């Protein structure tokens, strides 16, 4: 990845937004786009118009970068993200995080729809991401020449997700009686879902939820020393012994059901 490409995208966005400087970056996952209704939007820019930006091909992802305020904070929000299974490289998938950092964000919030591996979970529960497993990804977004302007060659990953934001989110969930668990997210490439044996293996490795996103963006965020908060909506249960055929309509329905609760936590977290 060329640093100049990141800078070109940043310069374009600054010009389009009259030098709007966001404090927080937000990435919205599958079926989790309604948070934008609570953002006082000052600018909306389609991905296809931003230099070097990928274009989302997933139907439920709107493909817009939104600038505005939420809970008194200036935010830049990705209404739809990119996935490795769409054919993009991990560097392309995580490119927007580089851009948001250079725009000025000091925190990153990532959300996703995930399959539940922990039998204590239920559909439409929330999981506050405590840690992740990236070993199944075939490519690392940091591979290649290090962008020393942005971070170290060998970034530490001993505490990927910000503890203070995690604990604050847990307290918010408890106050509002929201079913929210702390857990480990494992990232896989997709687009196919996992077999019963694969689910069994992932659970044995300590994963509580599985999905096809988030980790590449988080790795890049930590490379740049950005504090990260991650939250998953459990849209289907992936217990090998009771596994049912996954249907996209049911996954989206579960995401929509949990959306208001996730939105509440994020809004309160920003205050």
At 59 the pLDDT is 63
| Domain count for the chain | 1
Average confidence (pLDDT) per 10 residues, the chain, 271 residues? 95 97 94 89 97 81 90 96 95 98 98 97 98 97 96 97 98 98 98 96 98 98 98 97 90 92 97 93
Which structural domain range is residue 11 located in?
3-270
At 183 the pLDDT is 99
Phi, psi of 204 (to 5 degrees): -65, -25
* Maximum C-alpha span of the chain: 55
Contacts of residue 270, Cβ cutoff 8 Å, sequence gap at least 6: 24, 70, 71, 72, 73, 75
CA distance to 52, 144, 145, 195, per residue, from 148 (Å): 20, 12, 9, 40
Q: For position 214, which CATH number holds?
A: 3.40.50.1580
Cβ count near 107 (within 10 Å) = 20
Give the burial class of 13: count Cβ atoms within 10 A of its Cβ; 0-12 exposed, 13-18 middle, 19 or more buried: buried
At 140 the pLDDT is 97
């Amino acid at each position: 990845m060329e640093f100049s490409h990141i800078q070109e995208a940043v310069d374009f966005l600054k010009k389009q937004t009259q030098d709007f400087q966001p404090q927080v970056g937000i990435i919205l996952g599958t079926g989790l786009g309604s948070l934008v209704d609570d953002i006082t939007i000052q600018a909306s820019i389609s991905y296809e118009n931003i230099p070097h930006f990928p274009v989302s091909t997933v139907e439920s992802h709107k493909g817009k970068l939104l600038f505005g305020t939420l809970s008194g904070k200036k935010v830049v929000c990705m209404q739809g993200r990119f996935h490795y299974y769409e054919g993009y490289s991990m560097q392309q998938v995580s490119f927007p995080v580089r851009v948001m950092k250079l725009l000025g964000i000091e925190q990153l919030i990532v959300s996703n729809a995930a399959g539940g591996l922990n039998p204590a979970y239920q559909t439409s529960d929330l999981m506050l991401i405590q840690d992740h497993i990236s070993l199944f990804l075939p490519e690392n977004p940091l591979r290649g020449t290090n962008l020393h302007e942005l971070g170290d060659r060998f970034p530490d990953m001993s505490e990927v997700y910000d503890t203070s934001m995690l604990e604050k989110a847990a307290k918010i969930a408890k106050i509002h009686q929201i079913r929210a668990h702390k857990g480990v997210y494992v990232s896989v490439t997709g687009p196919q879902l996992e077999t019963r044996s694969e689910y069994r293996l992932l659970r044995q490795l300590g994963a509580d939820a599985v999905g096809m996103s988030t980790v590449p963006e988080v790795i890049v965020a930590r490379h740049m020393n950005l504090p990260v908060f991650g939250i998953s909506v459990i849209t289907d249960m992936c217990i090998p012994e009771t596994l049912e055929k996954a249907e996209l309509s049911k996954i989206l329905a579960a995401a929509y059901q949990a959306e208001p609760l996730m939105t509440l936590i994020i809004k309160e977290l920003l205050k």
